[in-house]
Chains A and B, each alone.
Chain A
């Protein structure tokens, strides 16, 4: 009897400790965050059904550290010619008329001490979906990845390293050479 009580106590203790550790490890991780946006823009409709390329709207992802949310004039490139009307499209047009920018809620937030450059990753042919998930199926965008340092490093250690080696072939062919992709100073400065 005494042994079984001890056993149960031990199991409870270990489980709760595990749960506490798990909870603590998720502090500041907002995986699954899917805030409501001022305009219910559907990536599923645009990127999925209509197959608009990601970089058409997020063009600065090619050149800048920010992917950029398209300015309203980019929306109006198409919507000035499309006749379909919904409440959300009305909101968009209203914004144009009132010359009032749209205040979106940022979904993917990195801390200030992390330098992330979209163009660097787009240039290395990392698909947008690798980090953002299947955006083309999302009616409302949610944070798919945990965006933790460990998650970044997973890719840096495998794909990043591979890319680096292939790119560095011209420079030197030492297979054991350390790679800058996992340097702290790659992202933290």
Chain B
């Protein structure tokens, strides 16, 4: 099997046109889930086929692609998807957030503020924010049509009543442009504020569920909350052990079987560029010399 047997970026042009039409509709109706005829891809459903189809449809020969999973460029599935596009599209790839024109992501939004020339493509497993409240698509589509979102507020309220907190820490629902409640994909709620008024175009692809949705640049995105229980992001009470960053999202790394832990930036490009600029965290002091 050799790559030249396939079209640029794998998908045939007809399929790309179909997906682009869905993307345009999604941009025109921010937060609305547009059904599209998702194709079988040569990687499994649930492993980013929606994001891959969106990326394949918008990628041009001059684009520079970055792929991250859990914020990192070197996680196995990110490596696999990046290699897929290197092979089928031959585009330049990068790990530098600001050097990329298209960033495909799973579970994170980069720490570096995105710019107007960039597109962020999210891989989405379950696009329907109401799915775990109402399993039927026939019902949830009606609820969206009528902006009938009471059930979601009841769920968040029950969380507070039971746990004292809104117990949703990722895939935290947002209201887009004052109309549609949207699932931001399973990004931690830490990343939710980055979606609001973002300069970059944000596209969401769900391959198995056959849905595409979008947040156009500079759109109002509000995390659902209550006046007396306002939305709060997860905060870490320590800096990154490697680059010393305060206020970045941290991964917990288990050091031994006696409870030792270290916390490092989940965004590997952010962390490495800080270290290159001389920033050091508490566990990285000797390396500075």
A is bound by B:
no
